[in-house]
Amino acid sequence: MKYSAQYFIKQLNLAEHSEGGYYVSSFRASDNIAVRDVQRPIYTSIYFLLRSQDISHLHRLQSDELWYYHAGGPLTVHMIFPDGTYEAKKLGLNVGAGEVPQIAVPKNTIFGSSVEESDTFSLVGCMVAPGFDFEDFELFTQEELLADYPQHEEVIRKMAYKKIM
């Protein structure tokens, strides 16, 4: 059976995400840990789906995030590290072609994702540790990022909002 993006959106009850794509919370640790003077779950996890016509816009978290490939086409994760270097990693199962089934995005890394193949989607899992909180989520505009990282203009123009809605 060939699954579609709409199939997973419906079956997993995915909702639109502010950064782009669709998501639903799937797991949340029952144990907490103190993070910056507040209690957070040790980890949280979501299902995340991105269609080829969507962009997961450039954003930053204050926690590490692990990405796991589940279904569909490969997903490219674009990362601008705190030292200003850029790297794109492809999440998928064709390891012979350089894809990997899981990757880690270190905390304080600016990142977003895209599906390069047309007319497809990618379903992944994302686990954040310590657990995700929207207080630790920063979404960026092209103008903000170009001021600090002009050397990455092409990816910034593709992956960042022109202005935050």
pLDDT for position 165: 60
**Mean pLDDT, to the nearest integer, of 107-131?**
96
Evaluated on CA atoms 47, 50, 54, 59, the torsion sign reads positive
Q: Does the pLDDT of residue 1 top 70, yes or no?
A: no
Q: Does the pLDDT of residue 158 top 80, yes or no?
A: yes
Q: Does the pLDDT of residue 2 top 90, yes or no?
A: no
Reported confidence tier of residue 18, pLDDT bands at 50, 70, 90: confident
Q: Assess contact for 42 and 31: CB atoms under 8 A.
A: yes
Q: For the chain, what is the radius of gyration of the CA atoms?
A: 16
Residue among 27, 26, 30 at smallest CA distance from 40: 30
**Mean pLDDT, to the nearest integer, of 16-23?**
92
Reported confidence tier of residue 84, pLDDT bands at 50, 70, 90: very high
Q: Does the pLDDT of residue 156 top 90, yes or no?
A: yes
Which phi and psi angles does 97 have, rounded to 5°?
A: -100, 10
pLDDT for position 155: 97
